[in-house]
Amino acid sequence: MTLRFSRLTMLLAGSALLCTTLSAQARELSVSTVLSDAFPWGQAAEKWAELVEERSGGELTLRVYPNAQLVSGDQTREFSAMRSGLIDLAVGSTINWSPQVPELNLFSLPFFMRDYAAVDSVTGGEAGKQVFAAIEEGGVVPLAWGENGFRQLSNSKGPIDEPSDLEGLKIRVVGSPLFQDTFEALGANPTQMSWADAKPALTTGAVDGQENPLSVFDVARIDQVGQTNLTLWNYMNDPLVFAANQRVWGSLSAEDQDLLRQAAVDAGEWEIAMTREEEGERRAAITERGVDIVELTEAQHMAFVQATQSVYDTWIDKIGESLVKTARSDMAAN
Ligand code: X2X
């Protein structure tokens, strides 16, 4: 008994020593992203890693796993995987996390935030704080904002400048059922699928169109899979959120928490500015490749706004009326 006890004691002491030694060494945390560093989104994560490495003197290392590989390509499982600890950190899209955090559907309401000033007043305002509180409530620690961008509509059939042009078109959409409702309201035939499946579906013609920011259209060369028409309709912006698993966050010293959060804020600001700055060049490059770009007039814009009003009836309750109101007053105060 005594012998067993002392062996156990030695074993415990040994493993405690091992833990201390390990914690004194550099610690590596995983970061999940959907897009690689060929895109601003992946670059945001790499920037975060670079700043953390630099500022911690190599004590803390972030290793980025792109293409949603930590969730086998199923980007709508990223939030749950981070909550459960399968993923330490992520730079994720509000769309992909909205199945677990319904408040994130705020950003997907069609034609809700008209321009960058509106986006910034929501993310940087009272509504942004409430959204972060909802993420925290959902079991993950939110740290900073980034941006995938305003999502634009492309298709292989022809120019789209009024809702009836979408009639019957098969459109690949992402994550949340809200997208199903928006595209059904417009008379299209939406199909939900992951980003990994999107390009093959466009290539074979299984779908006629898709929606993504200009940076994604440009870098992924969506023009090469028959998407000859692009409508710049700014129907929603897709902010990114830098976040951490709760247990990982709790295991860090206050100093490391500050370092990680500040590096996320700085990487996010850097990426948002870059994404916006590059839009003009991207648009020119896409035009150069022969894609027909349509920009909506005010009257055309209003027709889309009207056609998608029913989405608000269904979704305001799910998102929370008070959050939607708060976001509206954030935008009005701007
Ligand atoms: O799947 C998409 O369209 C993408 C890459 O934009 C997101 O992850 C939201």
Q: Which residue has the tokens 């976040």?
A: 243
Q: What is the mean pLDDT of each run of 10 residues along the chain (334 residues)?
A: 49 48 73 98 98 97 98 97 98 98 98 98 98 98 98 98 98 94 98 96 98 98 98 98 98 98 98 98 98 98 98 97 98 92
Q: Which residue segment(s) compose the domain that 242 sits in?
A: 27-333
Q: Judging by beta carbons within 10 Å of its beta carbon (0-12, 13-18, 19+), is residue 51 exposed, middle or buried?
A: buried
174 alpha carbon to ligand 1 midpoint, in Å? 6
Ligand 1: which atom is nearest the Cα of residue 238? Answer: 9
Residue 21 falls within a domain, yes or no?
no
Give the pLDDT score at 20.
Answer: 46
Distance from C-alpha of 163 to C-alpha of 29, rounded to nearest angstrom? 46
Q: Tokens in use for 108?
A: 């997907």
From CA 35, how far away is CA 15, in angstroms rounded? 38
Locate the ligand 1 atom nearest the alpha carbon of residue 93 and give its number: 9
In a domain, 124, yes or no: yes
- Report how far ligand 1's centroid is from the alpha carbon of 320 (Å): 24
How many folded domains does the chain comprise? 1
Distance CA 271, CA 268 (A): 5
Residue 19 lies in a domain: no
Pocket probe for ligand 1: among 32, 33, 34, 199, the residue whose CB has the most ligand atoms within 8 Å is 34
Question: Is 41:35 a contact under the CB 8 Å cutoff?
Answer: yes
Q: Is 151 helix (H, G, I), strand (E, B) or coil?
A: strand
Q: Which atom of ligand 1 is nearest to the CA of 211?
A: 3
Atom 2, ligand 1: residue with shortest CA distance = 195
Residue 24: which of 58, 74, 63, 71 has the closest Cα?
A: 58
Q: Are strands 170-173 and 189-192 parallel, antiparallel or unpaired?
A: parallel
- Residue 72, domain member (yes or no): yes
Classify residue 171: in a domain, yes or no.
yes
Measured by CA distance, the residue closest to atom 1 of ligand 1 is 195
ipTM over 0.85: yes
Establish if 7 belongs to a structural domain: no
Pocket lined around ligand 1, Cβ cut-off 6 Å: 34-35, 75, 93, 95-96, 148, 174, 195, 212, 216, 238
Would 266 be classed as within a structural domain? yes
| Nearest alpha carbon to residue 279 among 162, 179, 147 | 147
Choosing from 176, 210, 216, 237 the residue with most ligand 1 atoms within 8 A of its CB, the one to mutate for a pocket test is 216
Coil, strand or helix at 171 = strand
Instruction: Return the pLDDT at 25.
Output: 67
Q: Hey, whose CA ends up nearest to atom 8 of ligand 1?
A: 34
CATH of the domain at 31: 3.40.190.170
Euclidean distance between CA atoms 313 and 324, whole angstroms: 12
pLDDT at 1: 40
In this structure, the residue with its CA closest to atom 4 of ligand 1 is 195
**Domain-located, residue 226:** yes
Contacts of 7 (CB under 8 A, 6+ apart): none
